[in-house]
């Protein structure tokens, strides 16, 4: 018997407000991305030209295939640049609102910090800090729940990867102190 009268409800206390102002339009981002891709195509094209984009007695030189791909990428980016300038819909379309950007940054910045921490403190300490910090500061979840969840998850990852499957992860001073 189906049990559809029971609802699952998950509220989001940090939801972005609907009327938040636009930070940037799709057109602006499309233009910037097209310019960046064009610059990348030129850079890679020049590097492949240097590596040799022609023919020698043994066949095509190392840069032959990627050189022509750079030209295709450059051409498509140039077309994209013109198309973005001419597009009326892209000009009015919102790429991101201020509230959305704040939320994206709320996950992106901790992820960058997590990568940095992984480099210096090891993956397990960094993941404990990321999960507990994110749950507490962004999700406003109770401190004990945040710490317990982070500990259980990190321990489970350690047992799964380092112990059971022998996949070695980046370690830091804590693991060194514990002899791992």
Partner 1 sequence: MEAIGLLMHGFAVLLTWKTLLLMMTGLVLGIFVGVLPGLGGPNGVAILLPLTFTMDPTSAIVMLSCIYWGALFGGAITSILFNIPGEAWSVATTFDGYPMAQQGRAAEALTAAFTSSFIGSLVAVMLITFLAPMISSFALKFGPPEFFAVYLLTFCSFVGLGREAKHKTVISMSLGLLLAGIGMDTVSGQLRMTFGSAELLRGVNFLVAVIGLFGISEILLTMEERLALRGHAAGISLRVVLSVWKDLPKYWVTLFRSSFIGCWLGITPGGAIAASFMGYNLAKRFSKDQDSFGKGRIEGVFAPETAAHASGTAALLPMLALGIPGSGTAAILLGGLMVWGLNPGPLLFVEHKDFVWGLIASMYLGNVVGLVLVLTTVPIFASILRVPFAAVAPMIVVSCAIGAFAIQNAMFDIWLMLGFGVVGYVFKKIGIPLAPFTLALVLGNRAEDAFRLSMIGSGGDLKVFWSNGLVGSITTLAIVLLFWPVIDRAFSGVSRMLRPAKA
Q: Is 85 in the site for partner 1 (CB under 8 A)?
A: no
Tokens 């233009």, located at residue: 31
Q: From the CB of 41, what's the least distance to partner 1, in Å? A: 8
Helices (H), 64-122: 64-86, 88-92, 98-121
Going 46 to 48 to 52 to 54, the CA torsion angle's sign is: negative
Q: From the CB of 177, what's the least distance to partner 1, in Å? A: 20
Residue (1 or 177) nearer to partner 1, CB: 1
Identify the residue among 51, 142, 143, 174 touching partner 1 (CB under 8 A).
51
Alpha carbon distance 81, 64 (integer Å): 26
Q: Is 26 in the site for partner 1 (CB under 8 A)?
A: yes
Q: Taking CB under 8 A as the rule, which mask of x and - marks residues 86-125 in contact with partner 1?
A: ---------xx---x--xx-xxx-xxx-xx--xx---x--
Given a contact cutoff of 8 angstroms between Cβ atoms, the answer to whether 174 and 125 are in contact is: yes
Identify the residue among 35, 83, 91, 147 touching partner 1 (CB under 8 A).
83
Q: Which of residues 124-163 bind partner 1 (CB under 8 A)?
A: 127, 130-131, 134-135, 138-141, 149, 153-154, 157, 160-161
Q: Which of residues 31-50 bind partner 1 (CB under 8 A)?
A: 33, 37, 40, 44, 47-48
Q: Which of residues 53-72 bind partner 1 (CB under 8 A)?
A: 55, 58-66, 69-70, 72
Tokens 């397990």, located at residue: 124
Q: Which residues of 7-28 are buried (b: 16+ CB within 10 A; e: fewer)?
A: eeeeeeeeeeeeeeeeeebbbe
Q: Is 23 in the site for partner 1 (CB under 8 A)?
A: no
- 3-class state of residue 95 by DSSP: strand
């Amino acid at each position: 018997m189906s049990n559809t009268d029971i609802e699952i409800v998950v509220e989001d206390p940090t939801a972005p407000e609907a009327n938040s102002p636009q930070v940037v339009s799709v057109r602006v981002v499309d233009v910037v991305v097209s310019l960046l891709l064009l610059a990348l195509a030129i850079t890679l094209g020049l590097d492949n030209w240097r590596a040799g984009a022609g023919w020698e007695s043994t066949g095509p030189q190392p840069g032959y295939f990627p050189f022509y791909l750079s030209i295709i990428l450059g051409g498509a980016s140039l077309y994209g640049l013109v198309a973005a300038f001419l597009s009326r819909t892209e000009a009015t379309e919102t790429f991101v609102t201020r509230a959305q950007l704040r939320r994206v940054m709320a996950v992106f910045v901790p992820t960058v910090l997590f990568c940095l921490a992984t480099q210096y403190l090891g993956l397990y300490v960094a993941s404990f800090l990321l999960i507990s910090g994110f749950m507490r500061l962004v999700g406003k979840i109770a401190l004990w729940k945040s710490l317990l969840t982070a500990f259980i998850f990190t321990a489970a990852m350690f047992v799964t990867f380092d112990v059971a499957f022998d996949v070695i992860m980046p370690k830091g001073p804590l693991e060194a102190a514990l002899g791992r």
